A and B are shown apart, each in its own frame.
Chain A
């Protein structure tokens, strides 16, 4: 029944996505140095996150270039990603929590219209803490960096199956032993949610580069669930669906969050690619 519902939900949203994405920005994001996009999201990317990340990259001109390129992508893709977030959140909710998870995800995507804001915002304080932890300047563990590399390869994979296999691997790689203990049998559901999110983002060449944010969404979800478990609160598939749908919505609908996740991912995966003998320390990501 879940499989039937998944198929129905996918069919319902697939047409919507295809109309949204057809030809709109397909050729505009070939290089990192396209002209600035004059749009409603320009100011959003001037948030404190930008100074924070640029501070991290001080003296690192190459990665500053990466960040600027990523910022341009996030600005240009912002309208599409916001629409994708509305579609992806319920699909991720269904994948993680079953049909009820889909309704929860749809409620999460309604927040993009400002509805139900008071009801859902702040409901899971652990979620907010997990977000802040993930977005704070910190070093990525080697596991997390390798997961980012896998996600980057997934964004460029030739086939859907290949991409989802890599994202599945990235999901289990990015989670620590403590995360897996807390998640228990919810982990396969998170893998499914990550796979669905990857599928949605890969539908268009415009949004395909954003596949690299999937490990970040998974980490925030896992951290929030782990904190709930440590606080003695129940973690069910419904809770996981809600949190992952929320994180999907928040990450994709916010150009600054998207840019930050992508820049961190690019930096980490580049570190994996070029480094041959790493000293035994954390990688800055």
Chain B
């Protein structure tokens, strides 16, 4: 039976788990340790496939995936052309920014922690679902939650929400294309959170946050996380930790 006391217990336990996360960085007990070792190896190898995937995913966030298609058809020149076409296609999604004067709920730390956990759950669901469109639904749901996790970023995030939703869903589409990189979808919640943080910093420095700048920020954070073995591994472990915690509670 659900009681308010259970909610506080749940969030406190989750918070403690996250505080201890740093201790688990390279411990061998983690079930996907072999995957992570391979990940580190691949990313560190110059011109590795995963590094290319990180670049491809970042391009998809920015240009709508046209860069990848163009590269397949016509090499570097094709990539440039494909990128331009992708940018044009991305512009078909309404570039209207959401109203920036809207009030957002001030949820306090407890609400932020819960939204953070939900983001990781949604990222895990997006990695595991068989349906492409459903994965994109889960990822789309991350954007408003990022505004809850970082209230200081709420205005900037919601202003650029259509572009961020479109960009994030294309990143996921790129990662899910290959079974070997599908697991990396678990890193997307962290990418979105870092994007939100970056947008908040930009806004606080007086730099206008537009749809275009938000897309660039998302692309930059995508590459930054996916191409760095430490960041990528930490992001995926965070997602796994939350997922395991939820399953333990369900059990």
Contact = CB atoms under 8 A, between A and B. Distances in A.
A1 to B, nearest CB: 11
A145 B99 CA distance: 10
Contacts of B3: 232
Contacts, number: 141
Among A3, A161, A194, A232, chain B packs the most CB atoms within 10 A around the CB of A161
A46 to B, nearest CB: 35
A94 interface: no
A138 B173 CA distance: 39
B2 A229 contact: yes
A162 B166 contact: yes
Interface in B71-130: 92-94, 96, 98-99, 101-105, 107, 111, 114-115, 118, 121-122, 125, 129-130
Contacts of A234: 1-2
A142 interface: yes
Contact of B2 (A7, A235, A272): A235
B162 interface: yes
Interface in A177-230: 177, 180-182, 184-185, 187-188, 191-192, 194-196, 198-199, 229
B214 to A, nearest CB: 14
Contacts of B107: 177
Interface size class of B (residues with CB under 8 A): 35 or more
Interface SS of chain A? helix
A90 to B, nearest CB: 17
A236 B186 CA distance: 25
A190 to B, nearest CB: 9
Interface string A260-285: 00000000000011011110100000
B148 A161 contact: no
Interface SS of chain B? helix
B131 A169 contact: no
Given A162-B166, A171-B141, A232-B1, A276 B99 contact: yes
B144 A164 contact: no
Contact of A177 (B94, B111, B134, B138): B111
Nearest to A7: B130
Contacts of A160: 133
Contacts of B118: 172, 180, 187-188
A142 B103 contact: yes
A137 B93 CA distance: 32
A164 to B, nearest CB: 4
Contact of A162 (B114, B121, B136): B136
A150 B99 CA distance: 12
Contact of A143 (B105, B129, B133, B173): B105
Contacts of A164: 133-134, 136-137, 140
A136 interface: no
A6 interface: yes
A214 B30 CA distance: 40
A53 interface: no
Nearest to A145: B102
Contacts of A182: 2
A16 to B, nearest CB: 20
A196 B130 CA distance: 13
Contacts of B99: 142, 146, 272, 275-276, 278
B147 to A, nearest CB: 9
B1 A195 contact: no
B143 interface: yes
A191 B1 contact: no
A161 B60 CA distance: 14
Nearest to A271: B99
B115 A191 contact: no
B227 interface: no
Interface of B: 1-3, 7, 10, 92-94, 96, 98-99, 101-105, 107, 111, 114-115, 118, 121-122, 125, 129-134, 136-145, 148, 158, 161-162, 165-166, 168-169, 173, 246, 249-250
18 contacts: A3-B131, A146-B102, A146-B158, A164-B133, A167-B137, A168-B140, A169-B144, A171-B141, A173-B144, A187-B122, A191-B138, A192-B129, A192-B138, A195-B133, A195-B137, A199-B133, A234-B1, A272-B98
Counting from the closest, the 8 A-B pairs by CB-CB distance are: A165-B140, A168-B140, A168-B137, A195-B137, A168-B141, A142-B102, A164-B137, A165-B169
Given A162-B93, A177-B111, 12 more contacts: A3-B131, A142-B104, A143-B104, A158-B92, A161-B132, A165-B139, A167-B137, A167-B140, A169-B140, A177-B105, A185-B246, A272-B98
